[in-house]
Amino acid sequence: MRANIITICEKLPAWVDAGFEDYAARLKHALPLKCVDLALGARGKNADLKRALADEGSRMLAAIPKAAFVIALDGEGRTFSSEALAKQLEQWRELGTDLAFLIGGPDGLAPPCLAAAKLKISLGPMTLPHALVRIVLAEQLFRAHSILTNHPYHRAGKI
């Protein structure tokens, strides 16, 4: 099983790639992570925002690997504790298919992307920069794997 993170974004600072790559390296044998960055749709003073979002959505849907289990990161999605995400990761592993996490641009995900998702996840009620979301997601996937393998990374208040 592989996890694909498909995002709509602009050019990102180096620290974003470094943060993501750190967790991807930790997971390379257990859950290989791949991030696919897609360009923003045309925006500007006279741009049609609906058209830009539709363009982003069609390119995002085209980037989803065939037969992947699609998960949308959405503010109105379900929240998970780290332990609950570990249980969910275990269930995904039992499916035996790749995962595709969708992270929208500044205006969120296009309606067809939300409709394609079999699960919508929220990282919490705070608004996070989209560049940071990929790092938080990668870290939580690593934490979930750590919980499943009894790795000491996840301490959960143990002193």
Q: How confident is the model at residue 11 (pLDDT cuts 50, 70, 90)?
A: confident
Q: Which helix (H) or strand (E) holds 23?
A: helix 14-27
Read off the pLDDT of residues 100-145 as tens digits, 9 standing for 90 and up: 999 999 889 999 999 999 999 999 999 888 889 999 999 999 999 9
pTM flag (> 0.85): yes
E-only strand ranges, 10-79: 33-38, 69-78
Domain 3-148 has CATH 3.40.50.1820: no
Q: Which helix (H) or strand (E) holds 16?
A: helix 14-27
Read off the pLDDT of residues 49-89 as tens digits, 9 standing for 90 and up: 888 899 999 999 999 999 999 999 999 999 999 999 999 99
Give residue 121's identity as a one-letter amino acid code: I
